[in-house]
Structure 1
Amino acid sequence: MTDFVLVAGAWLGSWAWDEVVPELRAAGHGAHAVSLSGLAERQGVAAGQQTHVQDVVDVVERLDLRDVVLVGHSYAGIPVGQAAERIGDRLSRVVFVDSNVPADGESFVSAWPDGRAAVEASIAANGGFWAPLAAADFEGQGLDEEQIARIVGGSTPHPGATLTEPAVLAGPLGELPVTYVKCLLDGAEPNGDVAVLLESERWRLVTMETGHWPMFSRPRELARVLLDAAAPGA
């Protein structure tokens, strides 16, 4: 049995996986959706980036999980990529879902130069938090009105320090066993740093014909991608 540990991106909590978790459990696997510190039901908990890394590690260790597939969506790829190093032989695979990936000494905003000023301005104007997106920002991402309303209604401000603090990696990310899921409505090609990592023989690319939030737009298809990634020999 594989244990999936699922971490959604900025502004979201464990609830984002509500339509994916049952599919994984129905296939006979464990599925553990995580709300990171400062988000969703954990609002008010102080958090920097390393707090979020430890959140993921703590779930694995507290539940004594083995054969773990860590799943990081969007921002969450940064803490998940670091946590993957720290759980040792408990790790089976990492699945990055249309996500950022960590680089040693670099932060979320340093890896996103075009949007850095806007993110930092939002953090400064919102008491140290990155304000959630508005409904209009989800257009063109394969989501219907009900799905957009669900995301907007559930989103909470994202702790700014998690976006500006640097990642800490002990070794090359390309040495981890990884499936990278590219959602094509959010761009036809992976980012340059991901493209380089995909040259590793331990990384494989999967594409989905949907937008940046596939756990809402295509939950069953995403669950199948995750199950395939966890299969022996993947």
Structure 2
Amino acid sequence: MTNFVLVAGTWLGAWAWDEVAAELRSAGHGVHATTLTGLAEKQGVPAGQQTHVQDIVGEVERLDLRDVVLVGHSYAGIPVGQAAVRIGDRLRRVVLMDANVAVDGESFLSGWPSDQVRAAIEENDGFWPPLTAGDYADQGLTDEQITRIVDGCTPHPGGTLTEPAVMARPLSEVPGTYVKCLLDGDEPWGAAAELLKSERWALVNMDTGHWPMFSQPRELAAILHQSVARE
């Protein structure tokens, strides 16, 4: 049985995957939505980048999961990518969902103007404050979905955003799928574009915004199912 380990991006916890998880379970998969340290029900706890990597690796090992598909959304692509190369033959596939790509020595904030984010972390006791409702406009979300996201978000531990990834080998060496959400940009860029040059990686587009687990959960679950069904 395929075991999907689902990890959401900044400010979110396992709760963000409720609808997607239900769809995947109905298709016969094992589903393990994971909350990273410092977020949601684990909020307020300081964490670094390697804390989040260990959260994921530890969940796989604790449950003795095999045939694992690691799914990382947005920021979570960085700890998921590191975990993918650490769990060895337990891994079946990586799915990065409009996500940052783990590159050895690079952090979440590498490669884009981040002074404003760094200042916000410093001003908020080491945590990055969540977005406001207006920031979710034009992302294919209903008002109800936006309210649900805003109400559920918690501040994100800043150390996880500034500390570098540690990759024993490139992510291009493991099989993967990159899901690009078109309302958040027409095509992958930077490290994601480089990753997709690998013969082991495939690109799938979704006509929605950056949070498809809310805007199109059924369609996203179908893509996740198909990512392994077509192997």
- The verdict on a shared fold, with TM-score over 0.5 as the criterion, is yes
Shift in Å, 1:43: 1.1
User: What per-residue deviation string (whole Å, max 9, x for no partner) do you get for residues 2-54 of structure 1?
Assistant: 00000000000000001100100001110000000000000132210000000
Q: Distance in 2 between matches of 1:189 and 1:156?
A: 29
Report the TM-score when normalising by structure 2. Answer: 0.99
Q: Distance in 1 between matches of 2:28 and 2:221?
A: 13
1:189-228 matched pairs, under 5 angstroms: 189-228=187-226
Give secondary structure in 2 for the equivalent of 1:18.
Answer: helix
1:163-174 matched pairs, under 5 angstroms: 163-174=161-172
1:97-136 matched pairs, under 5 angstroms: 97-111=97-111, 113-114=112-113, 116-136=114-134
Is 1:22 the equivalent of 2:25? no
Q: Distance in 2 between matches of 1:196 and 1:64?
A: 32
- The total of aligned residue pairs comes to 231
Once the two structures are overlaid, the 10-residue window that deviates more, 69-78 or 168-177, is 168-177
Q: Which residue of 1 aligns with 2:42?
A: 42
Unpaired runs of 5+ residues, structure 1, are none
Report the TM-score when normalising by structure 1. Answer: 0.97
Q: Structure 1 runs of 4+ off > 2 angstroms?
A: none
1:174-185 matched pairs, under 5 angstroms: 174-185=172-183
Q: Which residue of 2 aligns with 1:159?
A: 157
Q: Distance in 2 between matches of 1:47 and 1:107?
A: 14
Give secondary structure in 1 for the equivalent of 2:56.
Answer: helix
Q: Which residue of 2 aligns with 1:146?
A: 144
Once the two structures are overlaid, the 10-residue window that deviates more, 13-22 or 224-233, is 224-233
Shift in Å, 1:231: 1.7
Q: Distance in 2 between matches of 1:232 and 1:56?
A: 25
Q: Which residue of 2 aligns with 1:77?
A: 77
Give secondary structure in 2 for the equivalent of 1:69.
Answer: strand
Give secondary structure in 2 for the equivalent of 1:168.
Answer: coil
Give secondary structure in 1 for the equivalent of 2:19.
Answer: coil
Give secondary structure in 2 for the equivalent of 1:102.
Answer: coil
